[in-house]
Amino acid sequence: MTSIGFDEQELISRAFQALQRSYSPYSKFRVGAALVSTENEIFGGANVENASYGGAICAERTALVKAVSEGHKRFQALAVVSDLDEPITPCGILLNKKSGRQFIREFFSPETPILLVSQAHPANNASETSYKGPLIKRTNISVLLP
């Protein structure tokens, strides 16, 4: 059964839950992601590092691999979170890689919403912050990987 919408707050909340499971002992840069399938199932993922950096996997790919391995190949949206105030883009802020974005392009239509979320978002239950920027930046893969 295909949905006509998704719960944005639940998706963001699940991304923050995934963030808590990040394994990032080398960079200390935690990332969480959550995506919702057209069947309304949400899959979370966290970044997982190892000493060879190149062998690390980003949070977005973790979530996508979990979903695809469970038979889901069409998605309504993706949320990406980190510990930074400024929202980050998928596999693009520190690793200078585009493999995560290419992975997203494989399974997302060009206009599928991608929500880049600040750690200051209320769903994170974060402490007070002086951050005054946007809590969510909305984009899609056709903008991130033209």
Whose CA is closest to 59, among 98, 100, 95? 100
* Sequence spans of domains, the chain: 8-144
107/42 Cα distance (integer angstroms): 15
Find out whether 51 is annotated in a ligand binding site.
Answer: yes
Residue 60 designated active-site = yes
Show Cβ contacts of residue 71 under 8 Å, excluding neighbours closer than 6 positions: none
CA dist 124 → 19, 73, 96, 141 (Å):
10, 28, 26, 24
CATH architecture of 8-144: 3-Layer(aba) Sandwich (3.40)
Averaged pLDDT for residues 117-126: 89
**Count of C-beta atoms within a 10 Å radius of residue 131:** 14
Whose CA is closest to 18, among 43, 50, 38? 43
Find out whether 96 is annotated in a ligand binding site.
Answer: no
Residue 56: which pLDDT band, with cuts at 50, 70 and 90?
confident
pLDDT digits (tens, 9 = 90+) for 11-50: 999 999 999 999 999 999 999 999 999 999 999 999 999 9
> In sequence order, what are the beta bridge partners of 116?
80, 137
Find out whether 120 is annotated in a ligand binding site.
Answer: no
Which residue among the candidates 60, 86, 106, 111 is catalytic per the annotation? 60
Task: Quote the pTM value.
Answer: 0.89
